[in-house]
Amino acid sequence: MTASSRSSAAVEDYLERILELMTTKGYARVVDIAASLQISQASVTNMLQRLDAEGFINYEKYRGLMLTESGEAVARAIAQRHELLTDFLTLLGVPSEVREHDIEGIEHHMSPSTLLAIESLTMELKKHPMLLKKIQGAQKKRRSRGPLRSEE
């Protein structure tokens, strides 16, 4: 992962978390963001200043923050991507602790065409419950055989 992609993923994580906090609590404070992301308040303040400079939020130290129109659009797209991946992996029967770890690992690195393919597949699986059951059954059978080996 390059420094640029790590930085971009961090920006997305912050915007997603800010939107989540604003939706659930009505506001997002430095202390809430820090606790939610399990990082220091100083790190959050630095990133908020960056997000402000990049036009994603309006931030005034000691006063709070608001998502700008573009910041909210990006945050909503990130949240939708996260929700799609959660829905897809849930349908496939991936356990929640694995699912959340995997989503955090892949959600910032998928192309729009891959996301579209996953969205289309998710919609089709929901329309065809027998196919979904068949896939879930094959997965259970596969899991019982143990971890994948490189020759498979």
User: pLDDT value at position 38?
Assistant: 92
pLDDT for the residue 1: 46
Give the bridge partners for 120, in sequence order: none
Amino acid symbol at 44 = V
Whether 43 and 88 share a structural domain = no
Determine the Cα–Cα distance for residues 89 and 85; give it in Å rounded to an integer: 6
pLDDT, tens digit (0-9, with 9 covering 90-100), for 126-145: 999 999 999 988 888 887 78
Asked if 48 and 100 sit in the same domain, the reply is: no
Q: Quote the pLDDT of residue 152.
A: 45
Whether residue 83 is found in the same domain as residue 69: no
Strands (E), 30-117: 57-60, 64-67
pLDDT at 4: 47
Q: What pTM was estimated for this model as a whole?
A: 0.80
Residues 84 and 125 in one domain: yes
Is 150 a domain residue? no
Phi, psi (deg, nearest 5) at residue 79: -65, -40
pLDDT, one tens digit per residue, over 7-33 is 688 899 999 999 999 999 999 999 999
pLDDT recorded at residue 64: 84
Q: In the structure, what pLDDT confidence band is assigned to residue 54 with cuts at 50, 70 and 90? A: very high
Q: What is the pLDDT of residue 139?
A: 83
